[in-house]
Amino acid sequence: YKCPKLISKIKQIIMFPTKATKKEDCVWINYRSIQKYSGTDVNSVEILLINNYKLNLNISSRIINNQIFKSSRLDSLLKSKK
């Protein structure tokens, strides 16, 4: 299960893995650093970060959608507890 992780509550940094954390090609992405993303193929996604860096990953856009959704839920929970 690819759970997002709270790295810093003060700085509101939430990271999520793109694959199982034990996989060598797992990439951790800062939820707040995503500017936009799009599926470029069935199992390929391009993510544009706020610093204009592009990540091309061999995963489906469904996985990114799910990870962003989980991260946003965690973010909402943290904001509601302030």
pLDDT in tens, 56-82: 999 999 999 999 999 999 999 998 876
Beta-carbon-side half-sphere exposure of residue 9 (alpha carbons within 13 Å): 6
Long-range contacts of 9-17, Cβ-Cβ distance < 8 Å, separation of 24 or more? 9/78, 12/75, 12/78, 14/71, 14/74, 14/75, 16/67, 16/68, 16/70, 16/71, 17/67
Q: Retrieve residue 81's tokens.
A: 């507890």
pTM comes to: 0.89
pLDDT digits (tens, 9 = 90+) for 20-58: 999 999 999 999 999 999 998 889 999 999 999 999 999
